[in-house]
Each structure stands twice: as C-alpha cells, then as structure tokens.
C-alpha cells in the first residue's frame, strides 16, 4: 500500500507542554491566565499525556477549561496514551505498553472527561508497543474518529519502521521525538528524514535537554553551553531561544514543545521563530555536541 496522504491539522509552530503542570502549583484562575497568555503569544497547541503529573495533569488543565469554556475553541488539545504505570489508579503488575482496543478506547474516553471536551484534536501512541497489531489499532483509530472523539492520530518515540507499519494502516499526522543540541540521534536514525519525505512535521520533546543545557556539568553539556553562549551573545538572544532556533532550522519543520510554566520561557521559545541560524552556526553547535568535526 502506498504512503497515506498527510492528514490536515496545523499545529502552532511552538507547542506548550504540560508534563509538569502539577509542579507549577497554579490555582485555577492562574491556570486560566497562563493559557490565555500562551494564546496571546500565538501558542494554540497544548501537549498532554494520560500519565503526566501522576495521571493528574489533564484534569488540572481541564479544570481551567471548565472555568473558562470559551478557551476550548481557541486551542488544540493533544494527548497520548499507551503506557501503563504501576502508579495508575488501577495499577498493572508491571510497567508495560498497551495498544489494545480496550485500553486505547478507555484512555481516550478518560482524557475527554479529564479535559472537559467532546473531541481531542490529536492523540498519540506514547511508545511503540512490541505487541501492537497494526491493523487492529488502526480499526480502533477509525472507530474513535467516526464517533467524533478524536480528530487526528499520531505516535511518539516510534522508529521509522514502526511509524511506517502503522501509517500504512491509518494516516498518522506526526511522530513526537526527542531532539536537542544534547540529544541528536534523530538526525541520523532516519526519523527526521522520514518526516520530511512524508511532509509530516515532527513534534520535539525536551528541546532544552531536560535542563542539562543550562546546568549540566558533563563534558558534552559544558562544550555545547560554551559554544552556544558565544553564538547567543553575538545574536543578542537567550541560550534557550538559540536552542529552539537550532531545532527550527531543520528542514523537517519541527514543532518544539516547551516545558516551562514560566511565561518568559514561552516567550523565549516564540522568539526563536524570528531567528534564522546560518549553517555554520548550526554546525558549530553540532560539532560542540559530538566533540568532533563532521567527517
């Protein structure tokens, strides 16, 4: 079967990540205001997962939407499912991945309740399930789409073969993968090449290296920070903005996902949209990260 056509859903260039919303300790009015400020910056896509915040993150965001229902029509809700944790309300015996029809349906319906919405704009399978039956999962996707519960589907952390297997059965919109100046496997493992070939813009998690970019004391982090600090100073931008700009420079047209509850952190990400790195600066950062010049 030929590659499926690209589904149509245009995410905002920068996506707001809600992984740590429980740690932000915002009350409901503060959460409403945070969403409003993100929207004012042009960020309309909000990334969740059923397991984030020990299974509480979606509900915290949903309380804000319930308090201010008009927000729903202005934003896009993205969530993930497929990981079963021992800390779940009904814990499994062992952490594992589950893409069975019953689990995917149950988690989608729970996310709808948590987020106080009738439809999710995009649902991703969080991790590749070694026991996934692609045709069966595709049937589940199609059924939930027909029922109006999910508009679009994608995956997260899937390799090229895993992506192709499922995409052949049901059109996927994106693959959410890790990429940063400190984690560059996606540049060589084919996932970004596949995204570019299919015209499916990838989403990028941990674009700031999980904080290592600012405080890591290992040799790689120190090299990258020194090189990037010199470039950022010359361009008169922050280190964070430069990290986002480095990702945005890739021709696969990635959507970086923020992780900060600070509005200033969102502003730094959005500022990267106005930065176009020269190839030499991009490769200087690559060189600092790998510790050697290109072959």
**CATH number, domain containing residue 160:** 3.20.20.100
Which value, to the nearest 10 degrees, does the dihedral of the CA atoms of residues 93, 97, 98, 99 take? 180
Domains of the chain: total: 1
Give CA–CA dist 169/167, Å, rounded: 5
In a domain, 97, yes or no: yes
Band the pLDDT of 89: cuts 50, 70, 90: confident
pLDDT of 233 above 90: yes
Band the pLDDT of 5: cuts 50, 70, 90: low
Q: Is the pTM of this model over 0.85?
A: yes
Q: Which residue has the tokens 């260039």?
A: 13
pLDDT of 2 above 60: no
In angstroms, what CA-CA distances link 28 with 5, 63, 74, 228?
Answer: 40, 7, 18, 37
In a domain, 57, yes or no: yes
In a domain, 196, yes or no: no
Q: Point out which residues pair with 154 in neighbouring strands.
A: 124
Q: Which domain holds residue 32?
A: 15-173
Give CA–CA dist 2/21, Å, rounded: 40
Active site residues: 52
In a domain, 202, yes or no: no
pLDDT of 10 above 50: yes
Q: What is the pLDDT of residue 7?
A: 62
In a domain, 54, yes or no: yes
Query: Mean pLDDT across the stretch 26-45?
Result: 98
Query: Mean pLDDT across the stretch 24-47?
Result: 98
In a domain, 189, yes or no: no
In a domain, 117, yes or no: yes
Residues of the chain with pLDDT > 70, as a percent, come to 98
In a domain, 235, yes or no: no
In angstroms, what CA-CA distances link 281 with 70, 90, 231, 286?
Answer: 43, 49, 7, 9
CA angle 270, 16, 9 (to 5 degrees): 95
pLDDT digits (tens, 9 = 90+) for 129-187: 999 999 999 999 999 999 999 999 999 999 999 999 999 999 999 999 999 999 999 99
């Amino acid at each position: 079967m030929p590659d499926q056509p690209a589904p149509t859903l245009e995410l905002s260039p920068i996506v707001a990540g809600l992984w740590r919303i429980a740690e932000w300790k915002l009350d409901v009015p503060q959460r409403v205001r945070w969403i409003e400020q993100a929207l004012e910056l042009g960020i309309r896509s909000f990334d969740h997962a059923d397991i984030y915040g020990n299974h509480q993150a979606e509900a915290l965001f949903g309380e804000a939407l319930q308090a201010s229902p008009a927000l729903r029509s202005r934003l896009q809700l993205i969530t993930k499912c497929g990981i079963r944790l021992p800390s779940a309300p009904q814990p499994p015996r062992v952490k594992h991945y589950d893409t069975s029809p019953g689990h995917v349906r149950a988690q989608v319906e729970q996310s709808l309740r948590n987020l106080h919405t009738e439809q999710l704009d995009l649902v991703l399978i969080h991790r590749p399930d070694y026991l996934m039956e692609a045709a069966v999962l595709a049937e589940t996707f199609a059924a939930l789409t027909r029922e109006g519960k999910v508009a679009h589907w994608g995956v997260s952390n899937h390799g090229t073969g895993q992506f192709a297997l499922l995409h052949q059965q049901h059109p996927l919109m994106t693959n959410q993968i890790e990429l940063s100046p400190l984690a560059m496997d996606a540049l060589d493992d084919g996932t970004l090449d596949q995204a570019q070939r299919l015209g499916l813009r990838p989403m990028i998690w941990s674009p700031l290296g999980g904080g290592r970019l600012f405080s890591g004391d290992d040799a790689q982090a120190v090299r990258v920070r020194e090189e990037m600090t010199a470039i950022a100073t010359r361009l008169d931008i922050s280190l964070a903005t430069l990290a986002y700009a480095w990702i945005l420079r890739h021709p696969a047209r990635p959507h970086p996902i923020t992780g900060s509850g600070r509005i200033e952190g969102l502003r730094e990400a959005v500022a990267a949209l106005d930065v176009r790195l020269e190839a030499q600066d991009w490769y200087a950062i690559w060189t600092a990260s790998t510790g050697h010049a290109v072959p």
